[in-house]
Structure 1
Amino acid sequence: MMTTVTSGVPASTPTQETYHTIEEVCTQLKVANSTVRRWMSLGKLRYLKIDGAVRIPASAITEHLHGGKQ
């Protein structure tokens, strides 16, 4: 559902999110698989499960690196 302002112009434009596997995040951040999984289990790194496959939004990586939500 898109929100509109009174002028009829969309209030926000949907953006395309990029998703990464655990292995890709490990490579990007140069950390072990167990480290990424620990961050996920502690709620420090947002992730999605799609048909059993774990995907981590690029925005979640940025949030984690900056110590919380941006």
Structure 2
Amino acid sequence: MQNKNTKSFIVLHNGRIVIEAYFNKRTAITPWYWASAGKTFTASLTDIAEQEGYLNIQNKVYDYNS
């Protein structure tokens, strides 16, 4: 991963970190811009919310307006 310019890598199992690694002078507290990762994170949360019945991606946004 270091050769591919990876900044960090994490593996979660049952909600717990089992592997955490940082590369190329990065640490757990090094700030960096992660807009692309943010999009992936948002898509993942949306998928989880749909799987757990919190939303249906076929519905319109205004269907959730309270």
TM score, norm. by length of structure 1 = 0.27
Higher relative contact order (CA 8 A, sep 6+): 1
Largest Rg, 1 or 2 = 2
Structure with the higher fraction of residues in strand conformation: 2
TM score, norm. by length of structure 2 = 0.28
